[in-house]
């Protein structure tokens, strides 16, 4: 991401905001939890980021028709304009990375990461208290279920 940060900062975007906007370009509208999954973000982080993007009028949110508790998100015309402005520079950075590292090696690395992600998705997430046998003085004071 070091190569991309200056570009994103110049357009007032964080890495997470960029991921959200890019994910929204692939769909007409999506449910917030699905967006969190596709942008690799946790719910609380996503909520804050969506508020910021909505305030900038880069995205629009509305309640789901079938369940008013769920929220649907879509990219706005202004968001698409921003994507169109940033994307050519982003693609040039990717092209330079592929040129320096090698397109075949980069594709192989991306495939290896996809396989790793798929294999880890089946792994249960354990609470730290269960996974770490540390002295009681070093453990969190929060209650666990």
Burial class of 127 by CB neighbour count within 10 A (0 to 12, 13 to 18, 19+): exposed
pLDDT at 43: 82
Decide if pLDDT at 18 tops 70.
yes
**pLDDT at position 116, please?**
94
CB distance 75 to 17 below 8 Å: no
The C-alpha atoms of residue 86 and residue 74 are separated, in whole angstroms, by: 18
Determine contact, residues 4/36, Cβ cutoff 8 Å: no
Which pLDDT score, from 0 to 100, does residue 55 have?
Answer: 97
The pLDDT score that the predictor gives to residue 139 is: 56
User: Is 60 exceeded by the pLDDT of residue 144?
Assistant: no
What's the pLDDT at 124?
79
pLDDT in tens, 38-86: 888 888 889 999 999 999 999 999 988 888 788 899 999 999 999 999 9
Reported as a single tens digit per residue, the pLDDT across 88-131 is 999 999 999 999 999 999 999 999 999 998 898 878 776 555 55
What pLDDT sits at residue 111?
97
The structural domains of the chain, ordered by start, are 5-124 (1.10.10.10)
Residue that wins the pLDDT comparison between 126 and 34: 34
């Amino acid at each position: 991401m070091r190569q991309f940060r200056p570009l994103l900062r110049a357009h007032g975007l964080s890495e997470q905001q960029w991921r959200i906007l890019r994910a929204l370009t692939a769909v007409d509208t999506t449910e917030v939890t699905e967006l969190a999954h596709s942008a690799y973000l946790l719910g609380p982080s996503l909520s804050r980021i969506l508020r910021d993007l909505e305030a900038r009028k880069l995205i629009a949110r509305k309640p789901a028709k079938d369940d008013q508790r769920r929220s649907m998100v879509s990219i706005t015309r202004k968001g698409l304009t921003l994507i169109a402005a940033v994307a050519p520079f982003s693609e040039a950075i990717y092209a330079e990375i592929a040129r320096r590292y090698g397109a075949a090696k980069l594709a192989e690395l991306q495939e290896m990461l996809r396989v790793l992600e798929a294999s880890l998705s089946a792994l249960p997430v354990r609470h730290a208290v269960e996974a770490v046998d540390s002295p009681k003085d070093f453990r969190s004071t929060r209650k666990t279920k």
